[in-house]
Amino acid sequence: MPLLELEGVTAGYGSAPNIINGVDMVVEPAHSYCIIGPNGAGKSTLLRAICGILHPRAGRVLLDGEDIGRLRPDQILARGLCFVPSDRALFPAMTVRENLEMGAFLERDRRVIAERLERALELFPILRERASQRAGTLSGGQQQQVVLGRALMMQPRIIMIDEPSLGLAPQIAEQIFRTIAGFTDMGIAVLLVEQNVRRGLNAAMSGVVLDLGRKVLEGPAAEILTDPRLRELYLGRQAEAAAGSADDGRA
């Protein structure tokens, strides 16, 4: 049985039209997937519909075969699925240590929390130096490390990360992607959303391409990267748009 399975997931915000439409997908344990697609393809919405911040309007989200589509975010997290949003979402007035400890909010055993904190600090040595500093005063790259460290504190089986490179200098982004690529060695499945197609696909094992809320392509990351249809999707849209405006001109 796959770890996570999406069956025809359809979702949107408020009373607005659907953003994603009937997406099917399978996530295997300790495997990484990068979700790519042009702006407005519904990448972030897909992650939100899985983690419980948004409830799917139709379709099923199955974790270990159980439908989690109606559960609250904290109930889904307790089942081992963790979400890292693109705005980093840390607690600015708490220290780095408190932020990391909040990651284990659902764990009540203080000893277990201390052990996990130690492991997170080993993975991100810079955070040990900054442990007593307020998280809001850190640089973007350090904040991203806090958020990833915090996500690991729950010992998730799946981590979903939305645009980890947003607003980071290229070298820092490289470093973050290397860390993320290492998560699968720890037995964690990774779902990554990334604007930069090449960088995202290089960091993941499989690629999933969304366009206008539908899945249009899926396969090993290296194959997706060289697939001519991917180029068409990104460049073809512009050609269509150009043709469209030419039509308007004639009318």
Partner 1 sequence: MQWLQILVLGLMLGGVYAVMASGLTLIFGVMRIVNLAHATFILLAAYLTFFLFDLLGVDPILSIAITIPVLFLVGVGVYLVLFPRIENSPRFVESTVLLTFGLALLLEGTMGRTFTGTYRLVRPSYGVESFLIGDLYIPKGQLYALIVSAVLLLLLAALLYGTRIGGSIRATMQNRTAAQIVGVNVRRTMALSFGIGIALAGASGTLLSFLFPFFPASHWEWVPVMLALVVLGGLGSLKGALVGALGLSVVAAFVMSEFGPTWQPMTFFLALFLILLVRPQGLYGKPLEA
Q: Which residues lie near partner 1 (CB under 8 A)?
A: 14, 51, 53, 72-74, 77-78, 82-85, 87, 89-94, 102-103, 105-106, 150, 154
Cβ proximity of 68 and 62 under 8 Å: yes
Q: Shortest approach of partner 1 to residue 174 CB, angstroms?
A: 25
Q: HSE (CB half, 13 Å, CA atoms) of 13?
A: 6
Nearer to partner 1, 189 or 224 (CB): 189
Nearer to partner 1, 76 or 201 (CB): 76
Comparing CA positions, the residue from 149, 112, 105 lying closest to residue 127 is 149
Nearer to partner 1, 89 or 112 (CB): 89
Nearer to partner 1, 35 or 82 (CB): 82
Q: Shortest approach of partner 1 to residue 134 CB, angstroms?
A: 11
Q: Would strands 206-211 and 32-36 be described as parallel, antiparallel, or unpaired? A: parallel
Nearer to partner 1, 146 or 221 (CB): 146
Q: Shortest approach of partner 1 to residue 82 CB, angstroms?
A: 7
Q: Shortest approach of partner 1 to residue 106 CB, angstroms?
A: 4
Cβ proximity of 238 and 46 under 8 Å: no
Q: Shortest approach of partner 1 to residue 226 CB, angstroms?
A: 35
